[in-house]
Structure 1
């Protein structure tokens, strides 16, 4: 039970950190590296699956991936870029903060319910996979949108 409480507290702290990082990021220009690197860094977490306690059944894998991809739609819809001068900025979206908070609340609720029937290690593996399945499509969409604006910006600077 203490693992559930500790991991929930850590998840809430990470969620709050993401919100503040996102709000701060919208004040500085972005680039492709800033978009691509978070999923690459996060991918190292997959090493958890080396330990048998974290391994998932095929059904758990499918559930986590599908739910992550569904959640990513909300993030994709609220992540827009704009050109300011010669730089590309991520637009602030009031809805984004509420969506992140909502996703965090859903995650905590799911964790509370599922911890009664799923081992804490497998549950951790599922939530990692859910988060990774959410961030990858979101960042791919962000990268594609960023590159479209970058080409537009490059075209403007040729003249």
Structure 2
């Protein structure tokens, strides 16, 4: 149970961090690098699967990826870019914060419910897969939208 509490506290900390980063990012122009790098950095977390305690069954992989991709739709819908001062900026969205908090609540509740039936290592692996399955489609959609606006901007110059 201590692992569940510690990982829940970690998840809340990450949510606060992501919210702060998102607010700060909206003040600076976006770039392809800023969009692409987070999933690449997160991919290093896959190294956890080297250790047997984190390995998950293929059905759990499919479940976690499916839920992650489903959640990514909410993030995609609330992540829009705009052209301001001949630069591309991420629009601020009040809904994004509420969606992030809602996803965090869903994650904490799911973790508390599933921790009694699924080993903590497997559960950690599943939640990493869920998060990765959420961030990759979201960032791909952001990148495509960014490139579209970038081509519009280049047409204006």
TM-score (norm 1): 0.98
C-alpha distance in 1 between matches for 2:17 and 2:58? 32
C-alpha distance in 2 between matches for 1:20 and 1:102? 16
> Unaligned 5+ residue runs, structure 2?
none
Q: Secondary structure at the match of 1:12?
A: helix
Structure 1 consecutive aligned stretches of length 4 or more whose deviation exceeds 6 Å: none
What is the RMSD of the two structures over their aligned residues, measured on CA atoms? 0.4
C-alpha distance in 2 between matches for 1:16 and 1:67? 22
Give the structure 2 partner of residue 118 of structure 1.
118
Superposition pairs of residues 3-152 of structure 1, within 5 angstroms: 3-152=3-152
C-alpha distance in 2 between matches for 1:154 and 1:85? 13
TM-score (norm 2): 0.99
1:9 Cα offset (Å): 0.3
C-alpha distance in 2 between matches for 1:112 and 1:83? 42
Q: How many residues align?
A: 157
Q: Secondary structure at the match of 1:117?
A: coil
